[in-house]
Structure 1
């Protein structure tokens, strides 16, 4: 049985993108990128909203040769199944990817329970659905040493959960990883 994970790289004030929609402030250092990669190795399926899918399609054609974190991530990304939730996309073009029109709580619960590996939900808008339904098992936040003052929040408003700290780690340039288990 898999777990449903939420991972975000966000500002200290909790935003994955600023008020203009930019996430340049959140570009990881090589050390942080490698840490993300190491966490991603246990993920077998990615659940994505339309915007996150569109951003992540870059990794479908990114170079996979070499030892650098970007090539490593491209190899990891190409090996996972992807489910894109969108009412507006006509089709998906990436391999190992299927399109689903609506977020069905019971279908996602069944997918996670049947998964031999962890399932990760990408994008805060889609993840909010899983938070509200009580499906999230673990949250992994990479805090960027920046305050952006507003934008797209990493975590949804109006949702309350108790968390248990699993790990805290600091990285170069002031990045911090906080991993929490969600108490159910």
Structure 2
């Protein structure tokens, strides 16, 4: 049975992107190995929000998840890049489908999609890579609505350049 997971970077002041929605502020930290290879090996399906999906071609010349099935939540026009499929149902129904898979699912979609999974209590695990950079403004990491399930910190890993990986499980 697969778990539903989130993993994303956040600025020290709690932003996932700058005011224009960009993540260029992460560039100085790209050389740091924060465990992505091990993480993605556990993932069978990537779930992307429409905005994240639409940004991918500008960030990568090829589908960046070649070993994973892709699901896009939101209104996008076929054909979908990377062989992804479109999800038109509600998120609880999607969670049932994802949990029935043998491997974990990664909610890649930005703060809006991950926030919706959190608010509905559908997230099982959340890993946050805290980057020592202050943006001051931008796209907030979390929604204002508290999560339906309580997160418990289960791991902390210090990384080079002052980065920290926080690992939360939801009860």
TM-score, length-normalised on structure 1?
Answer: 0.82
1: CA distance between counterparts of 2:166 and 2:56?
23
Deviation string 1:109-147 (CA, Å, 9 cap, x unpaired) is: 211221100011121111122112110001100011111
Q: Contact 2:153 / 2:168 at 8 angstroms: preserved in 1?
A: yes
Aligned length: 167
> What is the aligned counterpart of 1:172 among 144, 160, 166?
160
- Structure 2 gaps of 5+ residues are none
Corresponding residue for residue 66 of structure 1: none
After superposing on structure 2, the runs of 4+ consecutive aligned residues of structure 1 that deviate more than 6 Å are none
Corresponding residue for residue 119 of structure 1: 105
Which of the two has greater helix per residue? 1
> What is the aligned counterpart of 1:144 among 103, 126, 131?
131
* Cα RMSD for the two superposed structures: 1.9
2: CA distance between counterparts of 1:112 and 1:91?
22
Corresponding residue for residue 85 of structure 2: 98
Deviation string 1:2-60 (CA, Å, 9 cap, x unpaired) is: 1110111110111111112221112343233x512221210100110111112334446
Corresponding residue for residue 20 of structure 1: 20
Residue 132 of structure 2 corresponds to residue 109 of structure 1: no
Shift of 1:157: 1.3
